[in-house]
Amino acid sequence: MRSPLRKPAGVLAAAVLVATAACSGEAIRDDRGDADGTPGARSTRGLGFSGDPKVRPALAFERRPAHVIPFGPMEHPPVTLYGRAVWIADEAGVTAVDVTTGRTITRVKPRHKPLYEAHQPQRLTKDEGEYLQYRVLPPQVAQINGAPAVLAIVPVELGTRNGGAPQNGFEVIAVRAADAKVIWRLPVDIDGEPDGRLGASVWRPPYHGMAAVQWTVDGGLRGTFAIALEKPRLLWQRTDFELIDGYQQALVGFRDNGDDTYTIAGASLADGRDLWNLSELSGEISAGGRYDESYGGGPWSLVDDDALGARLVEIATGDTALSGKTGLNADMTCGMREGGSAVLCTSKKAGALALDVGTGDVLWERAPGTGPDAWSGTVSTITKDYAYVDRSDGPVVIDVRSGKVVGADSGIVPDRANAYAGLVFTGTDIEIHLPRS
């Protein structure tokens, strides 16, 4: 998890788009099941493992976990909770676990040879776990042909180029959320020959049949590419644009000027062209926020620099939507999850406020404190328009749009939550807590 990312400021240079149609292979469609050819799991429970997206998230969970998944020492494991399944990424594939039974639904591997082996929980050291969480991030949920699917990315060894040595790249795997069957696999040959350990993640929720991917070397940002999901193919890639945020058709990232300086710039999801740049930034730039599946700052990205301070920047235009003069504080973190209609910004020191996604209006503000009209606590996760907050008097659930408590005792402080389960990351394990009956 990166929260936030920092770069030295500079002046935006001209964008260079890399033509990539010949740099990636054709997608392999596979409706048989997982990578081993075994059938994907079948579920007879209505919508299957994807569950019903219209169901309200649970407001309280059992304190005792129903199931525990050993993972190894990692503060923020690469986990996505979607419907009735927990999707867990690693460097060699992705695993789905049924939240009701605690049993493995499927294990999906790439068709190409993985560059690295999946870690063994009992052998992972604390230092290795801290390093791994910057290379392997949670799978992302997308809509493919009108149905929910899970996207995972694995560093793989691709074929040789011009008779030379095998090329290293990625394989993007799309899996149906309802039955855990593989839809397709897309090999992607990244530009250049990076020297180091590769990692990648689909960044922010995909939009209109397209997904943007951030890739890294040894945990550091290195480049961005975008893919089409309906007819899977590589759309474009850039090594001078390091993706950090996105919303719908626009992306925001660090623009590498080629002289060890960077600026914040916007780019189009469809074709990678530059949309805007913030050339007035100076000193050290801080931008972006934490990465969870389907989690982001809505239409805005939090930017901070030495000259102008913290502000929310509209991802589509680069315009300032909220600044320190209008209630925003540099200590705040802002976020919402797919399906929500408001962004929540919070800080222990500065309090909290919420913004309407459609209008940008501030819905409410709370100063820090312990009174009934004050803000206290730390947000552990957000689901739709519900925020789970850890407070000194016990965990609660608030309605993001009103700021009012709607669940006086959530039972646990979940790191992920939905209608079917709450997940708690203990630092070594993933606990599955079922909703309180």
pLDDT tens sequence across 166-210 = 889 999 999 999 999 999 999 999 988 888 999 999 988 899 999
Residues whose CB is less than 8 angstroms from the CB of residue 352 and which lie 6 or more positions away in sequence, other chains included: 332, 344, 345, 346, 365, 366, 375, 403
**Residue 310 confidence (pLDDT):** 83
Give percent of the chain with pLDDT exceeding 90: 65
**Residue 17 confidence (pLDDT):** 38
| 388 contacts 413 by C-beta, under 8 angstroms | yes
In whole angstroms, how far apart are CA 265 and each of 234, 277, 306? 22, 4, 17
**Residue 205 confidence (pLDDT):** 84
| Distance of alpha carbon 70 from alpha carbon 392, whole angstroms | 29
The verdict on whether omega for the bond into residue 4 sits within 30 degrees of 0, i.e. cis, is yes
| Distance of alpha carbon 330 from alpha carbon 134, whole angstroms | 24
Which residue stretches of the chain have pLDDT < 50? 1-3, 9-23, 32-40, 42-44
| 419 contacts 52 by C-beta, under 8 angstroms | yes
| Distance of alpha carbon 159 from alpha carbon 167, whole angstroms | 6
**Residue 288 confidence (pLDDT):** 72
Widest CA span of the chain, in angstroms? 70
| Distance of alpha carbon 68 from alpha carbon 219, whole angstroms | 28
The DSSP annotation for 143-203 comes to EETTEEEEEEEEEEEEEESTTSSEEEEEEEEEEETTT--EEEEEEE--SS---S-EEEEE-
| Distance of alpha carbon 261 from alpha carbon 247, whole angstroms | 25
Q: Where are the beta strands (DSSP E) in 203-332?
A: 210-217, 220-228, 233-238, 241-247, 250-256, 262-268, 274-278, 284-287, 295-296, 300-304, 311-314, 320-323
Six-digit token pair at 398? 């608030």
Q: Which residue has the tokens 């550091």?
A: 220
CA atoms within 13 A of residue 348's CA, in its CB half-sphere: 6
